[in-house]
Amino acid sequence: MKKKLLAMLLGMAMAVTLITGCGNQNEETPVSQEEPVAAAEEEPEAEAAEGTAAEESEGGKVIGFCPPTMNNPFFYYIEQNVREAVEAKGDTLITMDPQLDSQKQIEQVEDLLLQDIDALLLCPFDSTAIKPALVAADEAGVPVIVFDTKVVDDEYAATTVASDNINAGRVVGEDLAGKLEKGSKIAVIYSPAGETDRYRLQGFEEGIEGMDYEIVAKLDGKGDTGVSMPLAEDILQANADLGAFFCCNDQAAIGAVQAIESAGKTGEVLVYGVDGSPEGKAAIAEGTMTGTGAQSPANIGLKAVDAAYSILAGETVEKDTVVETFLINADNVNEYGTDGWQ
């Protein structure tokens, strides 16, 4: 009995010691947590100084903006309009540049979510692969306003604001069909990962239906002049009798124009783009580019911002907002000018 009693007393003493030890650790914990908290408070100021992010003002909103690239005048112009609208409300816009890299875009969206954004304006580089970013935003309770290019998993998008891309391709196809004889060879330069380009190509094929054109190539120019130019050069070398290029944006079309100039074939091969960019319209005015399916990045950006603020205010918005597209060619380019977007 004495041994049992002694064992019980020793056990109780050990328990008291353990409880006292745990209590000491808990008292020290706040001290160890204070340093990270202080560092986190200082970090946004450093980021704001670098121009990559800014601390949310008291009562203000922080909007994330993530296009496929900022190395495209179209997205740069949208960003400028969005920034002006957001900052006019005293709020903050944080812009990312994935540089045409799908995985990088996903990581940048995750980074934006860590910065406690209130809403995300997103144009996916890859309409399917972007899903992890959409899921992450959904789990964080951040509404996603998709612009310009639809996502495949659109149940994660609060709304989508995009041009009528099928029509943009169709008006180009119809114009080409009126200029290029039946059975001619055509090359397509587009970005198949983007739903937008697939819609534009669909519309283009509808516009040339019945013309028996031979599409000799469909190559991925990633919507970039530097990528598209060497592709166009290869196409021209392999097809001396090529009749036209259809490029799914003006950046790619300018690459085709440059390749044609290098080959000494300016005026011999038609070149169409989609966007209505100042550079594209200037090329049309000069006669080196034939036409473009024009859209309005200003309207896309402003409608996307309006949708974001409506959602944050608890209002209901349309699932899809379609922005008008139309043809610009030599007949009407002077009406729209070459020094800005429409």
DSSP 246: E
The pLDDT tens digits of the residues spanning 15-31 come to 333 333 333 333 332 22
- What local confidence, expressed as pLDDT, does residue 17 receive? 35
The H or E element that residue 183 is part of is none
Asked whether residue 41 carries a pLDDT value surpassing 50, the answer given is: no
Please state, in angstroms and rounded to a whole number, the distance separating the CA atoms of residues 163 and 168. Answer: 8
307 — pLDDT class (breaks 50, 70, 90): very high
Mean confidence (pLDDT) of the chain? 86
User: What single string gives the DSSP state of each residue in 35-60?
Assistant: HHHHHHHHHHHHHHHHTS--PPPTT-
Provide the residue type at 174 as one letter.
Answer: E
243 — pLDDT class (breaks 50, 70, 90): very high
Residues 129-147 have a mean pLDDT of: 98
Q: Which parts of 89-208 fold into alpha helices (H)?
A: 102-114, 131-140, 165-177, 195-207
Scored b (16 or more CB within 10 A) or e, 3-28 reads eeeeeeeeeeeeeeeeeeeeeeeeee
pTM: 0.77
- HEC string for 65-106: EECCCCCCHHHHHHHHHHHHHHHHCCCEEEECCCCCCHHHHH
Please tell me whether residue 249 adopts helix, strand or coil conformation: coil
Strand partners, 93: 63
- What local confidence, expressed as pLDDT, does residue 31 receive? 29
User: What single string gives the DSSP state of each residue in 2-47?
Assistant: HHHHHHHHHHHHHHHHHHHHHHHHHHHHHHHHHHHHHHHHHHHHHH
Please state, in angstroms and rounded to a whole number, the distance separating the CA atoms of residues 121 and 304. Answer: 7
CB atoms within 10 A of CB 305: 28
Is-contact 147 123, C-beta < 8 A? yes
Asked whether residue 10 carries a pLDDT value surpassing 50, the answer given is: no
Residues 67-73 have a mean pLDDT of: 95
Phi, psi angle pair for 213, to nearest 5°? -70, 150
Please state, in angstroms and rounded to a whole number, the distance separating the CA atoms of residues 112 and 118. Answer: 10
- What local confidence, expressed as pLDDT, does residue 123 receive? 98
Asked whether residue 245 carries a pLDDT value surpassing 90, the answer given is: yes
Asked whether residue 112 carries a pLDDT value surpassing 80, the answer given is: yes
What domains does the chain contain, in order, with CATH numbers?
62-161+297-322 (3.40.50.2300), 165-296+328-336 (3.40.50.2300)
